[in-house]
Amino acid sequence: MHSIFDTYPYSLYIKHIAQKVREILDQLLKNHGLNSSQAILLSHIHQSIEENVEVNRKFLEKTMALSGPSVTNLLNGLEKSGFIIRSSNPTDGRNLRVEITAKAKQFLNERSDAFSKSEELITQGMSDAEKAMFVSLLTRAFENVEKHMSKR
């Protein structure tokens, strides 16, 4: 008997799962005025600030593996919606610092609901052991891809 994975490559399933999860997250985040990309970036900014890392566009490009225009576009949306403030870096005026607002902090306290709901959906029907194995395999796959890309 043939497996469905014999028919299609893993990358197709990964792509479709990612698209569907993004759609689900976008729907769950809609009431906050954010999309999934903005929410993920905002969470990353917050975590970095909590770790006393200075957050600027170049840092976000590197750590989020996004192009400059993509980061700028996401930051513009976050700033327009009142989630971040950009200001000149006192040590290098050409570089903008990114800070989160009270509105962002409130969202970040509530955001786990959207991410938790999407994770519950993805792992629905899995035992705790299967969920742990799933996370382990996802992590290994991510590390394999990262390792391959760093060799380029």
Q: pLDDT for 90-125, tens place per residue?
A: 776 667 888 999 999 988 887 667 788 888 989 999
Q: Are 72 and 57 in contact, with CB atoms under 8 Å apart?
A: yes
Half-sphere exposure of 3 (CA within 13 A, CB side): 4
Q: How many CB atoms lie within 10 A of CB 36?
A: 19
Evaluate whether residue 14 is within a structural domain. Answer: no
Tell me how many domains the chain contains.
1
Q: Average pLDDT for residues 74-82, to the nearest whole number?
A: 94
Alpha helical stretches, state H, 30-127: 36-50, 57-64, 68-80, 102-110, 112-122
In a domain, 98, yes or no: yes
CATH code for the domain of 91 = 1.10.10.10
- The answer to the question of residue 21 being in a domain is no
- Percent of the chain scoring above 70 in pLDDT: 92
Cα(47)–Cα(35) distance, rounded to whole angstroms? Answer: 18
Mean pLDDT of 139-147: 89
149 in a domain, yes or no? no
Asked whether the CA dihedral 114, 116, 120, 123 is positive or negative, the reply is positive
User: What pLDDT digit, counting tens, does each position of 24-61 carry?
Assistant: 989 988 888 899 899 989 999 999 999 998 888 888 99
Is 39 among the domain residues?
yes
Domain encompassing residue 61: 33-110
Cα–Cα distance between 121 and 81 in angstroms, integer?
28
Is position 46 within any domain?
yes
> Is 130 part of a structural domain of the chain?
no
